[in-house]
Amino acid sequence: MVSPDRARPVVAIVGSVEPGRAFSPELKHPAAAPAACRELGRQLALSGYDLAVFSAKPKYIEHDVVHGYAQEQGAVFIHLPRHRDADFSLPQGSSVAVHTVRDTGPEWEVSFYRTLLACDAVLLVGGGQSTRVAGVIAMSQRIPLLPVATFGGGAGQVWVNLDKVRNDTTDDDIALLGQDWRPDSARRLVECLNLQRQRHAQWLRERDHAARRASLSTGLGLTVALLLLVCSLLGFTLAGEPGPATGRRLGVLVVTPLLAAMAGAVIRSSFETADQWPRSAVRGLGAGVVSVLLYVASQLLSVPSLLDELDVRRLLFFTLPLGFSAGFTFDLVFERLRSGAAPDPPVQPPGTGQTTDRP
């Protein structure tokens, strides 16, 4: 950010109300704009803001805003290319601290746009293309924005765009930004900026809270997936020796691939933006049930005597990867089911089942 200690928020001042200059859109009431800018500067100082400015030339609003700001206490940061200087010629006895911040590049645009992204708020009055671009950048980064539309120019166009984007503004804020200038307009506009910053701070807190909650949910989901995967691998130790199909052997044969399917679905969910691993685990379970039972059914059709001498450990080498793959790609499994086609069981390698000769 601009302020070294970040004890006070910093407002970037952007715009121009230079008489005789052609603006698009055109300026409105340019004669009243300098006094309005001075009052805006004073109200910003009273509200505890520091200023970020880019020129001391009278044709830019920084000149009037800083002179109004100098009536109170605060700090002004002048951001300039390395070869330029600026002097606001503030009156003797002013309690405003002026700091020059030089950019290493020779182009003013680099320092200008880089500083906008580091500020806590942006004030726009009049101006042309650069003012419009500054407003677009502020809106895209959700920086609290104060486009004073009553004087037209680029700030007026930004006000129209802000009405569509809104960010942290309300209907009352948009109406206030478009009102004609009144004796209390500067105070009300700065109060509007304060409220925007409060809403923005609340939005940041909620966003950070949601990000932490999502991170914890993802971590918990991956932990659950790891446990499910380990439990499924325990099926190799619980399978026992080949023998007739019993409840324990059938349970190990069916349950362990389903645990792997749930693990695959949860791992798949961790790659998505909206990580809802419990829902994904249930979907993976459904996909695993369909795929694993179809595989076992295909084995029973090809080897009718499979249950007479059931080798669970040998079958797990196929059903576990099948279950995990079905859970990881559960959307493809359900898409095939919706289209009326059953998932294809894996091709049985030669020698994995018994065959009978034709009579």
- pTM for the whole structure: 0.76
Q: State the average pLDDT for the chain.
A: 89
218 pLDDT more than 60: yes
Domains of the chain: residue spans and CATH: 10-207 (3.40.50.450), 234-338 (no CATH)
The pLDDT value recorded for residue 358 is 38
Over residues 38-85, the pLDDT tens digits come to 999 999 999 999 999 999 999 999 999 999 999 999 999 999 888 888
How many angstroms separate the Cα of 124 from the Cα of each of 17, 52, 59, 149? 11, 12, 14, 9
* CA–CA distances in Å: residue 142 to residues 66, 133, 145: 25, 14, 8
Alpha helices in the chain (DSSP H): 33-46, 61-69, 108-118, 129-140, 153-165, 171-177, 185-233, 235-238, 247-269, 277-302, 312-328, 330-338
CA–CA distance, 128 with 141 (Å, rounded to integer): 20
Helix or strand or coil: residue 210?
helix
Q: How far apart (Å, rounded) are the C-alpha atoms in residues 155 and 148?
A: 6
Q: Work out the average pLDDT over 141-155.
A: 97
